[in-house]
Structure 1
Amino acid sequence: MSFPGGSGTLDLFLSRSRVATVASVPVCLAAMVFFIMEEGWHFSLLLCCVLPPIAAYLGIRGMREIRAGLAATGLALAVATLPLAFVLASIEAS
């Protein structure tokens, strides 16, 4: 299990998942602050405050316990946070 074009080792996948999930926390928090100031979205962007720390916890825990499923779940949450917030914001605006 690895990223496309990677060497395919489990350790590489776990470390990249951990880095991606931890890096999603400041990105989502910055996007949340920006969009609340600019657009006035409130409820949908609460996901940006809740889901990235959970994803980072799962990514770190998956690396520590060598569990690829846990790390993949954290990575999926980290990747899906912003699109989910945008979908909820569009529903909230209508």
Structure 2
Amino acid sequence: MINLVIMARCLKPVYTENHVVENKFLQGIIANPARRTLEKEKIDSLGKLSDYSENELMKFHGFGKNTILKLKNYMEQNNFSLKS
């Protein structure tokens, strides 16, 4: 029994070594497929996002009318807007 306690104290949890912190940009605002697309395109701020038009974003995977509406509302609240 003592050996099990000693062994348990020596083991590191696997999840702490393999855990990768995800980008939190727009988390809770838009769905994950759209967020992953933005991450892939290296768009990680509202400033970079404002360089794109609605039509350009609609071509990305995960972007539809609902996502664009949510983005526009969020950007407006933070004094940003999409390119015209």
Fold conserved between structures, TM > 0.5: no
- TM-score, reference length from structure 2: 0.27
Choose 1 or 2 for highest CA Rg. Answer: 2
TM-score using structure 1 length: 0.25
- Structure with bigger helix share is 1
